[in-house]
A and B are shown apart, each in its own frame.
Chain A
Amino acid sequence: MQNISWLLKMAWRDSRKNRSRLFLFMSSIVLGIAALVAINSFGDNLTTQINSEAKELLGADVEIESRNPIPDSLRQFLSELNIEQSEELSFASMVYFPNTGGTRLVNIRAVEGDYPFYGQIVTTPKQAAEEFYLQNNALVDQSLMLQFNAKTGDSVKVGDLSFLIAGEVNKTPGQSAITTTVAPPVFIPLSQLESTGLLQTGSRINYKLYIKFPEGVNYTTFFKEKLEPRLEKEEVRYDDVEERKEELGDAYSDLTGFLNLTAFIALLLGCMGVASSVQVYVKEKVQSVAILRCLGASSSQGVWIYLIQIFFMGLIGSLIGAALGTVIQYYLPQLFKDFLPFEIELFISGFAILQGVVIGVITSVLFALFPLLQIRKISPLKVLRASFEPEQKDRMKYFVFFLVVLFIFGFSFSQLRDWQNALVFTIGLILSALILFGVGKLIIWLVRRYFPTGSSFVVRQGLANLYRPNNQTLILVITIGIGTALITTLLLSQDLLLNKVKMSSSANQPNMVLFDIQEHQVNELTEMTIADSLPVIQQVPIVTMRLASLKGRSVDELKNDTTTNIKNWVLNREYRVTYRDELIESETLIEGEFQGEVQNSNDSIFVSLDKGLSEDMKVDIGDPITFNVQGAMIKTYVGSIREIDWQRVQTNFLVLFPEGVLEEAPKFHVLLTRYEDVNQSAAYQQKIVKKFPNISIIDLDLILKTLDEVLGKISFIIQFMAFFSIITGIIVLIGSVSISKFQRIQEAVLLRTIGASKKQIIRINLMEYFFLGSIASLTGIFIALLATWALAYFSFETAFVPNFGGALVAYIAITGLTVLIGLMNSRSVVNKPPLEILRKEV
C-alpha cells in the first residue's frame, strides 16, 4: 500500500508547520471527551461496586415489605427454614428536642435484633450502632443533630417516650444523603415502640422483615426453590439481592446516561468548533491542494492528506481528554457523595477510556468532513489564477449530515436505552442548534442592517470585524450561546420551582398541614389552634379504604385479566377518602351530579371521582364500585366526576363520599392552617408535639428548605456538567482568535502604519469581543428564557416570571469573559513592533 504510506508522509510533512494550530482545533474536543470518560469510568465503578456490595446495600439476603403486619405464619415458615429474621417498623412522626425546643417530621425506624446482617449502620461514636438496642436509646441522623444543635447524650422525644441520643447516624445501608435529607431517619429499638403510643389506627406504618439465609446454602437455589414460591402467595413485596442490584443499576445508569448526554453536548459543541476551524484551515490550503492536483495527485488524495491530520489530532485530543477525564473521575465521588448509598472505590476503566477515544475520533472526523469535502472540488486551475468558482452543491454533504445525525441518535440511544427518548433528544438537539443558528444569524443581520454609521471609528471598526472574511462569528455565537443557555436555563428553572412553592402559599392559602389527628383530639386541637391565633382553614376527616370490586368484578379477577387495561395502581392502592356536602374551591364538576348527603341508610351512595382516576378505572357515571372500608363492604355508584386543581395546597381527594355514610368508620383528621412568621409556627408546633405526639406536621418552611437543599445538590451537578460546555465555548473562542491572528496582525500593522495608536487598536478589539460576547450571551439567554417559559408552561404549570436579574448577571459574566479572553489573546498583536510580528508569523 504505497499510496497510504505516501499519504501518511504528506500528512505528517504538511502538519509540521501547522501543529500548534491543529492542536488548538483539537483542544476543543478535549473537555467533551474528558467529561464523557470521567462519567463513564465513574458509572463503570458504580456498577462494579453495586454488584459486589449488593448485600451490604440491602443489609440482608432478602427484604420483605408490607403495609400490614408481616403474618406470623410467614415468620413461622421462615424460622422452620432456619432463616434469621430482623423486623423493622417505620413511619413518619414528629420528634421533639427538649434542649433546643426544636420539632421536625422525621422517619422513625424501629428496628430489632441483628439488622443489618450485612454492612453496618455507621455511627459516631462507633459502638452506638450496636449498643442502642440495649437501652432506651435512639440514633439520630447527623443532619438532624446539626439542625437542632443536639449532641450525643441529649434526649429526644418520640411520641410519649424520651430517648437518650446514643449517637448520630452517618450512614445506613442503602440510603444516600439525598434520601435522608428528605426523610431524616431516627432509629429506636423496636421493643420500645409500643410505649411511644404511636401505634394507633390510621398511622401509616411500613413493615419490613430483613432475613438472612442459613450458612452454607446456595443463594439462588435456596431463594428460588424454597422461598420465592411461598413469598409469592403472601400479600407482601420482596427484594432479593439480584433485584436490588437491578434497581440500583437502573437508577444509576439513568443518572450516568443523563450526565453523559450533557457531556456529549459539550463534545458536539467542541466538534462544531473543530469544523469551523477546519473550514478556515481548508481555505488556506486551497493553493497547496491545487498545486498537488497539478502535479498529478487525485482529488481523493487531497482529502485524505487532511483527513489523516484531523484523524491523528482527534486521536491525540481524545487521548488527552481521556487522561484528563480519568483525573476528573477521582473528584466525582466528592460531587456525587450525597447521591450514593456507599463510599466508592475508584479504578481506571479501560472500557470507558476506549469508548471515549473512539467517540472522540469519530465525532471530530465526522464534523471535520463537512469542510474537508470541499477539497475534492478544488480545481488545479487555481494554480494559474485565483479564479472565482461558484460553490457547487455537494451531495456528499447531505450524506455526512445523515451520518452525524445517525451517530447522535446512536449515542443517545446507547445512553437512554429507549429509542423514543433518543429520538426526542436528537431532534431537540438539532432543533436548538437550528434555533441558535437562526437567532444568531438574525442578530448579526440586524446589526449589519442597522449598522450605526454615525458612531465612532472604533465602534464601527469593531463591528465590522465581525464580518471579516473567514469570520467565525456564527459558530462562536452557537458554542458560547449553548453554554450560556444551559447554565441560564438551570438557574432560571430552579428559581421557578422555588417561586412556585412560595407562591402557592400566598394570600390566605394554608401553609401548614397537620395530619394523623385522632378523632378524640380534634376538638382540643382546634381550640389550641384558635388560641394561638391561627385560623383553621380546613378540617377534614379521612377514612382509608381499598377497592373491592369494580363494575361487579372483584379486584383479584381484574388483576388476573390482562385484557382489561385497568391500571394496577388503581387496583392496589389504599384510598384516603373524605366526605362533605359541597365541592371546594379547587374542584370543578365536569360530569354527573354531585350528591352531598345520604338521607336513609338504604339509599344508593353516589361518590364523586377525580377525572384521571375515572379514566384509569375505566368507569362512567352510574357504574358500581364496592369499597372495602377496613372490613366493611360499601357498595357505591359513580355519581359525578370532578376536575381537581392539584396545584393548590389543599387536601384533595381522588374519591369523595357524601355525608351520612362514613361518619362511624375509623378515621383520622387533617387540619390546614396558616402561620405568618416562623417563630409563631415553631411555638405552635412545639405545643402540639408535646400535647399530641402522634400528630405529624408539615409546614411550607420545611418543604422550601428541603426543596432548596435537594435542588441545590442536583443543580450543582448539572452546573458542573454545563461548565464543560462553557469552557468548550471558550476554547473554541481562543482557537478562533488564534486562527484569525495573522489577519489581525496585518490589519493592526496597516492601521498603525496609517497612524492609529496602540490604544485605538486595543479599543477596536475590545469592541469586537464586546459585540461578539453580547450577541452570543444574549442569544443564549433568549433561548434560556424560551426554555424556562416552556418548562413553566408545560411542565410546572405555573406562571412564568422571568428573573431578569439572573439573566443580567449571566450576560455580564459571559460577555466579560469573552472580552477578557479576546484581549488576552490579541495582546501579542499590539504589543510588539509591527515589523517583528510580520517576520515571525510568515
Chain B
Amino acid sequence: MSSILLVNHVSKTYQSGSKSLTVLNDINFEIKPGSSVAIVGPSGSGKTTLLGLCAGLDGASSGNIILNGKSLDQLSEDERAAIRNQHVGFIFQSFNLLPTLTALENVMVPLELLGKKNVKPQALELLEKVGLGDRIHHYPAQLSGGEQQRVSIARAFANQPKILFADEPTGNLDEETGAVIENLIFNLNKESGTTLVMVTHDGELAQRTNRILKLKGGKLADDSQQNSNISNSH
C-alpha cells in the first residue's frame, strides 16, 4: 500500500437556507504510512472540517477520500464507524472523555468495541505510559485538563491505530503542560509507527512533523516537506 490516506479533489459546501458556503475547495494530497503531518492555517480556514472528512466523521460534497485502502464515500455510517474503531485514533482539543466512565474504562472502550477479551492489563499499561498509573479509578471531572488529555492519548493509542487524528491537542493547555502532551504524542507515535495527522496553531509543534499542509480560504495554499527523520527512523 503506497498511501494510508488519499484525498482526491475534495470539496465541502455547507448549505444554510438559500446561501451556500464553500469551506473546502478541491483539496488534493496523499499521506504515506508512518509519516507525521501538520495542518495549519488561520481560524475558519477549514482545518477541522478537513480532519473530520479524513476520519470519516462527515461526508464530502464532492471528490473522494481513501482511508487505509477503502473509499469512504461508498461506506455506510456504521461501516465507517467500524473502520474508525479498527484503524483510527483521535485526540481532541477539548479532551472529550466519557464523563461517566473512569480513566481506566475510558481507555478500555475502544478495545472492548473491537471485541477483545481481558483488555484491562493493556489499558493499565497505556495509562502507566502516560504517567497516570495511580489515577485509574478517577472520573474525568476529578482530573486536571492535562491529566484528561493524557487519558485521551492513552485511549487514542489503545487500539494500535494505523492513523491518528489530533485537533489542536494542546490548544486548551498551558505551555508547560502542552509540551508534556506534545512529547507524549510524538514518543508514542514513534514507538508504534502510527501515521499522525495533526491540526495546530502552534508553529513550533508543526515544525516537529515531517510535512506541513497550509490551508487558506478553503484551498491548499502550501505543502512543504521537511526533516524526515521520524518517518525514516524505522
Q: Are B81 and A296 in contact (CB under 8 A)?
A: yes
Q: Are A291 and B98 in contact (CB under 8 A)?
A: yes
Q: Are B78 and A299 in contact (CB under 8 A)?
A: yes
Q: Given A291-B96, A381-B52, list of 16 further CB < 8 A pairs?
A: A2-B117, A14-B98, A15-B100, A292-B98, A295-B85, A295-B90, A295-B110, A296-B81, A296-B83, A296-B114, A299-B78, A300-B78, A379-B57, A381-B58, A383-B57, A384-B48
Give the CA-CA distance A10 to B102 in the complex, in Å: 12
Q: How far is the CB of A491 from chain B (nearest CB, A)?
A: 47
Any B CB within 8 A of the CB of A293: yes
Give the CA-CA distance A6 to B88 in the complex, in Å: 20
Q: How far is the CB of A209 from chain B (nearest CB, A)?
A: 75
Q: In the complex, which residues of chain B have a beta carbon less than 8 angstroms from the beta carbon of A299?
A: 77-78, 81
Give the CA-CA distance A300 to B99 in the complex, in Å: 21
Q: Are B109 and A14 in contact (CB under 8 A)?
A: no
Write the A1-38 contact mask toward B (1 if CB under 8 angstroms, else 0): 01100100110011111100000000000000000000
Give the CA-CA distance A297 to B98 in the complex, in Å: 13
Q: Are A379 and B100 in contact (CB under 8 A)?
A: no
Q: Which residues of B contact A (CB under 8 A)?
A: 48, 51-52, 55, 57-58, 77-78, 81-86, 88, 90, 92, 96-101, 105, 109-110, 112-115, 117, 139, 141, 155, 167
Q: Are B100 and A288 in contact (CB under 8 A)?
A: yes
Give the CA-CA distance A291 to B152 in the complex, in Å: 11
Q: Can you identify 7 A-B contacts, CB atoms within 8 angstroms?
A: A13-B105, A295-B90, A297-B81, A298-B81, A379-B58, A380-B84, A383-B96
Give the CA-CA distance A287 to B114 in the complex, in Å: 21
Give the CA-CA distance A381 to B99 in the complex, in Å: 18
Q: Are B113 and A297 in contact (CB under 8 A)?
A: yes
Write the A279-314 contact mask toward B (1 if CB under 8 angstroms, else 0): 000000001100111111111100000000000000
Q: Are A294 and B90 in contact (CB under 8 A)?
A: yes
A390 closest partner in B (C-beta): B16
Q: Are B99 and A17 in contact (CB under 8 A)?
A: yes
Give the CA-CA distance A628 to B105 in the complex, in Å: 92
Any B CB within 8 A of the CB of A446: no
Most chain-B CB neighbours within 10 Å: which of A6, A291, A298, A383? A291
Q: Are B57 and A295 in contact (CB under 8 A)?
A: no
Q: Are A298 and B96 in contact (CB under 8 A)?
A: no
Give the CA-CA distance A701 to B99 in the complex, in Å: 71
Knowing A6-B112, A294-B90, A296-B113, say if A384 contacts B99 (CB, 8 Å). no
Give the CA-CA distance A268 to B37 in the complex, in Å: 57
Give the CA-CA distance A83 to B83 in the complex, in Å: 87
Q: In the complex, which residues of chain B have a beta carbon less than 8 angstroms from the beta carbon of A295?
A: 84-85, 90, 109-110, 113, 155
Q: In the complex, which residues of chain B have a beta carbon less than 8 angstroms from the beta carbon of A294?
A: 55, 57, 84, 90, 96
Q: Are A288 and B99 in contact (CB under 8 A)?
A: yes
Any B CB within 8 A of the CB of A842: yes
Q: Are B57 and A296 in contact (CB under 8 A)?
A: no
Q: How far is the CB of A580 from chain B (nearest CB, A)?
A: 82
Give the CA-CA distance A300 to B90 in the complex, in Å: 21
Q: In the complex, which residues of chain A have a beta carbon less than 8 angstroms from the beta carbon of B84?
A: 294-296, 380
Can you list the 8 inter-chain pairs with the closest CB atoms, starting with the nearest?
A296-B85, A296-B84, A298-B78, A17-B100, A14-B100, A380-B57, A381-B57, A296-B81
- Give chain A interface residues in 791-842, CB to chain B under 8 Å: 842
Q: In the complex, which residues of chain B have a beta carbon less than 8 angstroms from the beta carbon of A842?
A: 141
Give the CA-CA distance A295 to B83 in the complex, in Å: 10
Give the CA-CA distance A396 to B155 in the complex, in Å: 34
Q: In the complex, which residues of chain A have a beta carbon less than 8 angstroms from the beta carbon of B92?
A: 383-384
Give the CA-CA distance A380 to B88 in the complex, in Å: 14
Q: In the complex, which residues of chain A have a beta carbon less than 8 angstroms from the beta carbon of B96?
A: 287, 291, 294, 383
Q: Are A13 and B101 in contact (CB under 8 A)?
A: yes
Q: In the complex, which residues of chain A have a beta carbon less than 8 angstroms from the beta carbon of B48?
A: 384-385
Knowing A381-B58, A384-B57, say if A296 contacts B99 (CB, 8 Å). no
Q: In the complex, which residues of chain B have a beta carbon less than 8 angstroms from the beta carbon of A383?
A: 57, 90, 92, 96
Q: In the complex, which residues of chain B have a beta carbon less than 8 angstroms from the beta carbon of A379?
A: 57-58
- Give chain A interface residues in 462-489, CB to chain B under 8 Å: none
Q: In the complex, which residues of chain B have a beta carbon less than 8 angstroms from the beta carbon of A13?
A: 100-101, 105
- Give chain A interface residues in 379-436, CB to chain B under 8 Å: 379-381, 383-385
Q: In the complex, which residues of chain B have a beta carbon less than 8 angstroms from the beta carbon of A288?
A: 98-100
Give the CA-CA distance A299 to B139 in the complex, in Å: 25
Q: In the complex, which residues of chain A have a beta carbon less than 8 angstroms from the beta carbon of B115?
A: 2-3, 6
Q: In the complex, which residues of chain B have a beta carbon less than 8 angstroms from the beta carbon of A297?
A: 81, 85, 113
A293 closest partner in B (C-beta): B81
- Give chain A interface residues in 32-49, CB to chain B under 8 Å: none
Give the CA-CA distance A298 to B84 in the complex, in Å: 11
Q: Are B51 and A384 in contact (CB under 8 A)?
A: yes
Give the CA-CA distance A294 to B54 in the complex, in Å: 12
Give the CA-CA distance A293 to B113 in the complex, in Å: 11
Q: How far is the CB of B98 from chain A (nearest CB, A)?
A: 5
Q: Are B82 and A296 in contact (CB under 8 A)?
A: yes
B82 closest partner in A (C-beta): A296
B89 closest partner in A (C-beta): A295
B49 closest partner in A (C-beta): A384
Give the CA-CA distance A564 to B106 in the complex, in Å: 80
Q: How far is the CB of A273 from chain B (nearest CB, A)?
A: 23
A3 closest partner in B (C-beta): B115
Give the CA-CA distance A6 to B99 in the complex, in Å: 18
Q: In the complex, which residues of chain A have a beta carbon less than 8 angstroms from the beta carbon of B114?
A: 296
Q: How far is the CB of B222 from chain A (nearest CB, A)?
A: 23
Knowing A380-B57, A384-B51, say if A298 contacts B82 (CB, 8 Å). yes
Q: How far is the CB of B153 from chain A (nearest CB, A)?
A: 14
Q: In the complex, which residues of chain A have a beta carbon less than 8 angstroms from the beta carbon of B139?
A: 17
Q: In the complex, which residues of chain A have a beta carbon less than 8 angstroms from the beta carbon of B112?
A: 6, 9
B94 closest partner in A (C-beta): A383
Q: In the complex, which residues of chain B have a beta carbon less than 8 angstroms from the beta carbon of A287?
A: 96
Give the CA-CA distance A379 to B58 in the complex, in Å: 8
Q: In the complex, which residues of chain A have a beta carbon less than 8 angstroms from the beta carbon of B109?
A: 10, 292, 295
Q: In the complex, which residues of chain A have a beta carbon less than 8 angstroms from the beta carbon of B110?
A: 295-296
Give the CA-CA distance A483 to B194 in the complex, in Å: 62
Q: In the complex, which residues of chain A have a beta carbon less than 8 angstroms from the beta carbon of B77?
A: 299
Q: In the complex, which residues of chain B have a beta carbon less than 8 angstroms from the beta carbon of A16?
A: 100
B116 closest partner in A (C-beta): A2
Q: In the complex, which residues of chain B have a beta carbon less than 8 angstroms from the beta carbon of A14?
A: 98, 100-101
Q: In the complex, which residues of chain B have a beta carbon less than 8 angstroms from the beta carbon of A296?
A: 81-86, 88, 110, 113-114
Q: In the complex, which residues of chain B have a beta carbon less than 8 angstroms from the beta carbon of A384?
A: 48, 51-52, 57, 92, 167
Q: How far is the CB of A784 from chain B (nearest CB, A)?
A: 44
Give the CA-CA distance A384 to B53 in the complex, in Å: 11
Give the CA-CA distance A676 to B115 in the complex, in Å: 89
Give the CA-CA distance A287 to B58 in the complex, in Å: 16
Write the A361-392 contact mask toward B (1 if CB under 8 angstroms, else 0): 00000000000000000011101110000000
Give the CA-CA distance A381 to B100 in the complex, in Å: 20
Q: How far is the CB of A764 from chain B (nearest CB, A)?
A: 29
Q: In the complex, which residues of chain B have a beta carbon less than 8 angstroms from the beta carbon of A6?
A: 112-113, 115
Give the CA-CA distance A368 to B92 in the complex, in Å: 32
Q: In the complex, which residues of chain B have a beta carbon less than 8 angstroms from the beta carbon of A385?
A: 48
Q: In the complex, which residues of chain B have a beta carbon less than 8 angstroms from the beta carbon of A2?
A: 115, 117
Q: How far is the CB of B132 from chain A (nearest CB, A)?
A: 18
Give the CA-CA distance A299 to B81 in the complex, in Å: 9
Q: How far is the CB of A306 from chain B (nearest CB, A)?
A: 11
Give the CA-CA distance A3 to B52 in the complex, in Å: 27
Q: How far is the CB of B148 from chain A (nearest CB, A)?
A: 13
Q: How far is the CB of A23 from chain B (nearest CB, A)?
A: 15
Q: In the complex, which residues of chain A have a beta carbon less than 8 angstroms from the beta carbon of B82?
A: 296, 298
Q: How far is the CB of A312 from chain B (nearest CB, A)?
A: 15
Give the CA-CA distance A381 to B82 in the complex, in Å: 16
Give the CA-CA distance A307 to B92 in the complex, in Å: 28
Most chain-A CB neighbours within 10 Å: which of B88, B97, B99? B99
Give the CA-CA distance A288 to B97 in the complex, in Å: 8
Q: In the complex, which residues of chain A have a beta carbon less than 8 angstroms from the beta carbon of B78?
A: 298-300
Q: How far is the CB of A809 from chain B (nearest CB, A)?
A: 46
Give the CA-CA distance A10 to B110 in the complex, in Å: 12
A2 closest partner in B (C-beta): B115
B117 closest partner in A (C-beta): A2
